[in-house]
């Protein structure tokens, strides 16, 4: 089990790196959004069109990348929405068992299915070098690659979460240590 927990730490470290890179895209998307708004209002004031589809599409492309790359990071930090009507009152080992089963029977199959059904779409987009239909728009095929990258990252982080939950559920790891590690990771980001 200790070897698996070391693998989990490696996966967690990788997810942290991807998450920290993704965090830097947030000011960029805000900057592009401010640029779009400023161009729209200044353009109206002077009677000219200052914006373009390039900036509008760049804004939602960057936002999409943040969403796609951030999903595994959010999973690692326990930030995904959870309906915890009963879960909140469970003891730590039962919570770990519920999380383990959820990861194995819902998260991982979902990621596999998403990759499977997205693959032809991504492959076609790259084959035809799909572009935006709008004048001045951006290429779409690089963005569509994230339909594969995102669930792959989520699947990999799911492996880490499954390992940690298995360790807690079987008593191989103290639940407070896993919780303390997650809390420490969160505090380091603040």
pLDDT digits (tens, 9 = 90+) for 141-166: 999 999 999 999 999 999 999 999 99
Mean pLDDT is lowest, of 77-91, 151-165, 174-188, for 174-188
- Split at pLDDT 50, 70, 90, the class of 190 is very low
- Cα end-to-end span (Å), the chain: 31
Mean pLDDT of 132-141: 88
Q: What is the DSSP string of the chain?
A: -HHHHHHHHHHHHHHHHHHHHHHTHHHHHHHHHHHHHHHHHHHHHHTS----HHHHHHHHHHHHHHHHHHHHHHHHTT-S----TTGGGS-HHHHHHHHHHHIIIIIHHHHHHHHHHHHHHHHHHHHTT-B-SSTTPPBSHHHHTHHHHHHHHHHHHHHHHHHHHHHHHTTSS-HHHHHHHHHHHHHHH-
- Split at pLDDT 50, 70, 90, the class of 179 is low
User: Is the pLDDT score of 137 beyond 90?
Assistant: no
Radius of gyration of the chain (CA): 21
Query: What is the predicted pLDDT for the residue at 115?
Result: 97
The residue with greater pLDDT, 125 or 77, is 125
Mean pLDDT of 77-88: 78
User: Is the pLDDT score of 187 beyond 60?
Assistant: no
Q: What is the pTM of this model?
A: 0.83
Q: What is the mean pLDDT of the chain?
A: 87
Contacts with 131 (C-beta within 8 Å, 6 or more apart), sequence order: 137, 138, 139, 140
User: Is the pLDDT score of 85 beyond 90?
Assistant: no
Output the CA torsion sign for 189, 155, 1, 174. Answer: positive
Query: What is the predicted pLDDT for the residue at 2?
Result: 80
The residue with greater pLDDT, 80 or 131, is 131
Q: Which of 50-64, 111-125, 159-173: highest mean pLDDT?
A: 111-125
């Amino acid at each position: 089990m200790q070897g698996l927990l070391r693998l989990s730490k490696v996966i967690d470290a990788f997810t942290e790196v991807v998450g920290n890179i993704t965090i830097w895209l947030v000011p960029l998307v805000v900057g592009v959004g401010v640029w779009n708004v400023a161009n729209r209002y200044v353009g109206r004031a002077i009677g000219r069109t200052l914006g373009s589809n390039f900036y509008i599409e760049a804004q939602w492309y960057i936002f999409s990348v943040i969403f796609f790359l951030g999903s595994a990071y959010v999973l690692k930090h326990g930030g995904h929405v959870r309906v915890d009507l009963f879960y909140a009152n469970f003891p730590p080992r039962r919570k770990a068992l519920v999380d383990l089963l959820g990861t194995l029977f819902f998260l991982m199959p979902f990621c596999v299915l998403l990759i499977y059904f997205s693959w032809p779409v991504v492959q076609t987009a790259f084959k035809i070098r799909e572009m935006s239909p709008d004048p001045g728009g951006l290429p779409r095929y690089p963005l569509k690659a994230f339909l594969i990258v995102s669930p792959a990252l989520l699947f990999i982080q799911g492996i880490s979460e499954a390992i940690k939950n298995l360790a807690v559920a079987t008593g191989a790891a103290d639940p407070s240590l896993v919780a303390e590690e997650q809390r420490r990771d969160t505090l380091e980001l603040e």
